[in-house]
């Protein structure tokens, strides 16, 4: 990665960081879910698209937050 790419990333970090960090609040979580939907709609749902890795990472963060903060959904078929 060249110096120009790093400089550009640094200039835009305040916009990019929330997409890469584990949500700390419900508002952070909701914003991440909305952003993930946008990334998926922009092509991230296609594994060959350049946004696929970002969508995958964001999905992992959403799953981690849900596992830690949301109650599990009961299975209707449990006895």
- Centroid of chain to Cα 47: 15
What pLDDT sits at residue 78? 61
Low pLDDT (below 70) residues in the chain:
78-79
Question: 2-11, pLDDT tens digit by residue?
Answer: 999 999 999 9
Convert 9-61 into a string of H (helix), E (strand) and C (coil): HHHCHHHHHHHHCCCCCHHHHHHHHHHHHHHHHHHHCCCCCCCHHHHHHHHHH
pTM score of the predicted model: 0.82
């Amino acid at each position: 990665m060249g110096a120009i790419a790093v400089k550009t990333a640094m200039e835009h970090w305040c916009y990019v960081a929330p997409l890469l960090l584990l949500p700390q609040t419900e508002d952070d979580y909701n914003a991440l879910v909305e952003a993930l939907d946008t990334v998926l709609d922009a092509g991230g749902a296609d594994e060959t698209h350049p946004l696929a890795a970002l969508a995958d990472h964001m999905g992992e963060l959403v799953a981690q937050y849900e596992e830690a903060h949301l109650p599990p959904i009961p299975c209707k078929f449990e006895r």
